[in-house]
């Protein structure tokens, strides 16, 4: 028979009961609290607001914003699965409005957007290829590299073979509007 020589070093029962210092349910939502604090000037308004487009979507890549520029798919079944078409801002975050203004948006099937490892939000090469195509468009039609940096804050350089492959595949107008 098994005979344990191990001795328990901690008592089974805690001597002091745990006390809940915060109520289980918040009386106000986090957003409400943040808004009130912001009103009192205690914090800056930093909570994320749902993004609203500032300009009507137009793309230097294609006229057909309902069709994925890479796969040619529309909303619905393609390659055996249901997919949505997303509008991707080539320059994101604080540059979303600038991307819209200069038509640096592209329709992508959700997997090519952010739902798969090869999607633009995950594959840095694809992201960089698209950014560089747009930068060239800017220099061709809008201003200098310095102007671009003034507006977008940065100029994206670098990349190897993978980027040139993407760039060939993705040059504007390679897919004709349906």
Q: Which residue lies nearer to Zn ion by CB, 31 or 54?
A: 54
Q: Which residue lies nearer to Zn ion by CB, 119 or 148?
A: 119
CA distances from 77 to 10, 59, 65, 165 (A): 59, 24, 17, 27
Using the rule CB under 5 A, give the single segment among 13-21, 83-91, 93-101, 149-157 that binds Zn ion.
83-91
Cβ of 95: how many Cβ atoms within 10 Å? 18
- Shortest Å, Cβ 55 to Zn ion: 16
Q: How far apart are CA 150 and CA 50, in angstroms?
A: 26
> For Zn ion, how many residues bind (rule: CB under 5 A)?
1
- Shortest Å, Cβ 88 to Zn ion: 4
List the interface residues with Zn ion, window 104-163 (CB under 5 A). none
- Shortest Å, Cβ 33 to Zn ion: 30
The end-to-end CA distance of the chain, in Å, is 79
Using CB under 5 A as the binding rule, whether residue 83 contacts Zn ion is answered as no
Interface residue with Zn ion, options 67, 83, 88, 103 (CB under 5 A): 88
Q: Contact at 8 Å (CB) between 47 and 34? A: yes
Site string for Zn ion, 36-75 (x = CB under 5 A): ----------------------------------------
Helix (H), strand (E) at residue 77:
strand 76-78
Q: How far apart are CA 119 and CA 113, in angstroms?
A: 5
């Amino acid at each position: 028979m098994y005979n344990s020589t191990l001795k328990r070093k901690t008592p089974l029962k805690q001597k002091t009961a745990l006390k809940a210092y915060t109520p289980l349910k918040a009386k106000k939502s986090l957003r409400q609290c943040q808004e009130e604090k912001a009103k009192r000037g205690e914090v800056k308004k930093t909570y994320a607001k749902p993004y609203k487009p500032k300009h009507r979507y137009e793309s230097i890549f294609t006229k057909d914003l309902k069709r994925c520029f890479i796969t040619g798919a529309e909303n619905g079944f393609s390659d055996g699965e249901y997919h949505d078409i997303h509008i991707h801002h080539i320059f994101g975050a604080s540059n979303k409005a600038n991307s819209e203004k200069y038509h640096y948006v592209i329709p992508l099937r959700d997997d090519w957007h952010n739902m798969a490892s090869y999607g633009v939000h995950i594959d840095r090469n694809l992201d960089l290829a698209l950014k560089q195509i747009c930068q060239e468009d800017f220099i061709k039609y809008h201003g200098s590299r310095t102007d671009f940096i003034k507006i977008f804050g940065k100029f994206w350089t670098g990349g190897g073979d993978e980027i040139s492959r993407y760039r060939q595949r993705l040059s504007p107008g390679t897919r004709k509007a349906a």
